[in-house]
């Protein structure tokens, strides 16, 4: 078929006037598209075999003959890893779906205080009483956006705070509005992030400490998803962090999406 021409336009100041630079980036664009499609297709194809695998494994665990009881820990390990694999596949599918979207398709006004209330239940499950978690919400907080996608932003930031904060730490979840926009913020007293890593956190599979992320069940894709979802909403992510002190992750939304 015919390839769409993709042109990048740049305006550069030049000798008191402007220089307009047109560059044909069709090829690079096509390659990017192909890479995305490939990742989406591959993830999709991996789903079914994994479901079958997990199904048999569960049956095996349920019906394990007494003389094979010594195999149980190994089988349980396999099951855990299969769960991890599924999580990675689901995140890859989510990421390629949001990357493909150029605009939001399902937008509503979301009551942020109600959102925070449901996050509270999730936080209880994730933390299991290991942290002191507080919530604060501005009365007039409504945000216009895609509820499912935003949900994944809130959950990702919260679960990261839980996973990277040692037992006994504090986590504060806040929603507030100023003349600059709407802010969803998660502050923790966790392990923090060395400054040089901060700019790269939203790259896919980027981790400060790979072992730790794996251990705590991370896929390395959470913040990449967060970044894309926020961009679709015209917003962005802000990160402030100090090693051994803690981190603040802030989703910033433009004022026209807030009442």
Residues that bind ligand ADP (CB under 6 A): 156, 160-161, 164, 188, 190-193, 201, 206-209, 213, 218-224, 247
Instruction: Output 55 or 199, the one with its CB closest to ligand ADP.
Output: 199
- Confirm if 185 and 250 have CB atoms less than 8 A apart: yes
CB of 231 to ligand ADP, least distance (A): 15
**Which of 213, 201, 190 shows the shortest CA–CA distance to 87?**
213
Within 10 angstroms of residue 139's Cβ, the number of other Cβ atoms is 7
**Which of 122, 134, 120, 131 shows the shortest CA–CA distance to 169?**
131
CB of 177 to ligand ADP, least distance (A): 23
Instruction: Output 237 or 258, the one with its CB closest to ligand ADP.
Output: 237
Instruction: Output 201 or 229, the one with its CB closest to ligand ADP.
Output: 201
- Confirm if 165 and 190 have CB atoms less than 8 A apart: yes
Instruction: Output 115 or 241, the one with its CB closest to ligand ADP.
Output: 241
Chain position whose Cβ is nearest to ligand ADP: 218
CB of 167 to ligand ADP, least distance (A): 15
CB of 224 to ligand ADP, least distance (A): 6
- Angle formed at CA 112 by CA 107 and CA 118, multiple of 5 degrees: 105
The tokens describing 184, both together, are 């969803």
């Amino acid at each position: 078929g015919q390839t769409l021409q993709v042109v990048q336009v740049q305006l550069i100041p030049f000798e008191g006037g402007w220089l307009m630079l047109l560059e044909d980036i069709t090829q690079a664009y096509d390659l990017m598209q192909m890479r995305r499609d490939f990742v989406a297709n591959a993830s999709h194809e991996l789903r079914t075999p994994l479901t079958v695998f997990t199904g048999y494994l569960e049956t095996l665990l349920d019906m394990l003959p007494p003389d094979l009881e010594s195999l149980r820990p190994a089988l349980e390990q396999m099951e855990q890893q299969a769960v991890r694999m599924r999580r990675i596949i689901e995140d890859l599918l989510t990421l390629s779906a949001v990357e493909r979207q150029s605009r939001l398709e399902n937008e509503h006004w979301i009551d942020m205080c109600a959102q925070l209330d449901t996050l509270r239940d999730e936080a209880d499950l994730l933390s299991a009483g290991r942290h002191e978690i507080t919530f604060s919400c501005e009365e007039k907080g409504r945000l216009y956006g895609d509820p499912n996608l935003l949900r994944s932003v809130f959950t990702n930031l919260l679960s990261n705070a839980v996973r990277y904060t040692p037992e006994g730490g504090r986590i504060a979840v806040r929603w507030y509005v100023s003349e600059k926009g709407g802010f969803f913020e998660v502050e923790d007293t966790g392990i923090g992030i060395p400054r040089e890593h901060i700019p790269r956190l939203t790259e896919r599979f980027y981790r400060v400490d790979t072992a730790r992320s794996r251990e705590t069940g991370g896929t390395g894709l959470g913040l990449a998803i967060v970044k894309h979802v926020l961009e679709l909403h015209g917003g962005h992510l802000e990160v402030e962090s100090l090693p051994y002190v803690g981190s603040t992750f802030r989703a910033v939304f433009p004022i026209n999406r807030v009442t």
